Amino acid sequence: MSLRVALVGLGWAGRELWSPLLREHADFEVVAAVDADQASRTAFREATGVAVHAAVDALSPRTVDLAVVAVPNYLHAEVAGALLATGISVFLEKPVCLTAAEADTLAAAERSGGMLLAGSAARYRGDVAALRQVIPELGDIRHVDLGWVRARGVPRAGGWFTRRDKAGGGALFDLGWHLLDTLAFLLGPVRFPQVVGVTSDDFVNAGAWRAAWRRDEPGADAADVEDTARGFLVRDDGVSVSLRASWASHAARDVSSILVEGTAGTAELRCTFGFSPNRDPEPVLTVTREGTTTRLPVPAEPIGVEYRRQLDGLAALLADPDNRGRAITEARPIVRMIESFYASARSARARRAVPAYQ
């Protein structure tokens, strides 16, 4: 029996990604959609025949089993919390929350209502799974280098992606969350007691560095978020982590990279997460031991298959009561690290603003 699904949010992700995936999947029946914009509601209703509502209070656990929430970041906790409180389970796009306080709000709503599951696309990639299989052969892990660097990939200025009050931040929330979630998948989730980070905004308001392939909502306001975040973190287990998330750079291609250093060897994956057409031609996974580098096989997969894979296992996750609370447990160390990262970056900017004594 298929799960009755409501799609909440009809922006690009809801309309172009989740709607077709859900409607094609045997485990789900899209019975409703929600969006505050009347034009979006009308267009979706005419295209699909699905009932569309202006707010989530029109949904009920009597008619909806699961809500797939793809609204702007600043609405995640509010919308998901309201749905959970009514007893409707929620699959929430990343980032799960923007602050530790929002994590607390969602945890309270889940305890008394529906189950919360989080979108975690990168961990469903075949190349990331292949890297994870190699890690036990690397000995004690000492360091991980995480990077997602785009050549020209800044979201359109003035849309919610580039407004701090709507997105929570820039490239760190957008790309960095994926990297940190992937790190938890590879090594397990832990806290980050030591965090040093800096941010920069050299490209975010320059039109030449925007992503032609993105179809973000236009806007007139200047961006007030970072296009690049660079940091050094230390996990509770003593593993050090270098992190770089960049919407724009002088690179030729958009590249995602994960390098894991251990006492018995080093493994490196180079690929391109997401949907950018300006990507590496294929993922490359290598292992280096005592001066010898070996390339390992990784599956050839169509772009975006990781999003369908999330849906393949979603019904089973909802049926398992042990998954209650898991999404928040995994999100807490990420959002706390991001809060610490931005605090460090603010401190660095303040020091730069103070003139040195002559």
DSSP string, 77-99: HHHHHHHHHHT-EEEEPSPS-SS
Q: Do 108 and 127 belong to one domain?
A: no
Domain end residue (candidates: 67, 89, 119): 119
Confidence of residue 273 (pLDDT cuts 50, 70, 90): very high
Q: Do 130 and 196 belong to one domain?
A: yes
- The side-by-side arrangement of strands in the sheet containing 255-262 is 194-200, 228-234, 240-246, 141-149, 255-262, 265-271, 284-289, 292-296
Residue given tokens 């989730």 in the structure block: 189
Helices (H), the chain: 12, 19-24, 38-48, 76-86, 100-111, 126-134, 164-167, 171, 177-187, 305-312, 314-319, 326-353
Q: Mutual orientation of helices 126-134 and 177-187 as an angle, nearest 10°?
A: 40
Range of the domain at 284: 122-307
Residue 142 lies in a domain: yes
Q: Which of 139-148, 229-238, 324-333, 344-353 has the lowest mean pLDDT?
A: 344-353
Look at strands 89-92 and 66-69 and give their pairing. Answer: parallel
Q: Do 247 and 145 belong to one domain?
A: yes
Residue 329 lies in a domain: no
Q: Do 222 and 242 belong to one domain?
A: yes
Contact predicate 6/61, CB 8 Å: no
Residue 81 lies in a domain: yes
What per-residue confidence (pLDDT) applies to 159?
A: 82
Residue 326 lies in a domain: no
Domain end residue (candidates: 75, 102, 119): 119
Q: Do 103 and 136 belong to one domain?
A: no
Q: Do 104 and 148 belong to one domain?
A: no
Helix/strand/coil for 284: strand
Residue 88 belongs to domain with CATH number:
3.40.50.720
Residue 312 lies in a domain: no
Q: Do 165 and 253 belong to one domain?
A: yes
Total tally of structural domains belonging to the chain? 2
- Give the tokens for residue 302: 């169509």
Question: Model pTM?
Answer: 0.93
Nearest CA to 88 among 62, 126, 107?
62
Domain end residue (candidates: 119, 154, 180): 119
Q: Do 139 and 171 belong to one domain?
A: yes
Q: Do 244 and 126 belong to one domain?
A: yes
What per-residue confidence (pLDDT) applies to 265?
A: 98
Residue 154 lies in a domain: yes
Residue 141 lies in a domain: yes
Q: What is the mean pLDDT of residues 218-247?
A: 91
Q: Do 148 and 293 belong to one domain?
A: yes
What per-residue confidence (pLDDT) applies to 216?
A: 53
What per-residue confidence (pLDDT) applies to 221?
A: 65
Residue 264 belongs to domain with CATH number:
3.30.360.10
pLDDT for residue 353 is more than 70: no
pLDDT for residue 206 is more than 90: no
Residue 337 lies in a domain: no
Q: Do 168 and 59 belong to one domain?
A: no
Q: Do 93 and 157 belong to one domain?
A: no
What per-residue confidence (pLDDT) applies to 358?
A: 45
Reported as a single tens digit per residue, the pLDDT across 65-117 is 999 999 999 999 999 999 999 999 999 999 999 999 999 999 999 998 999 99
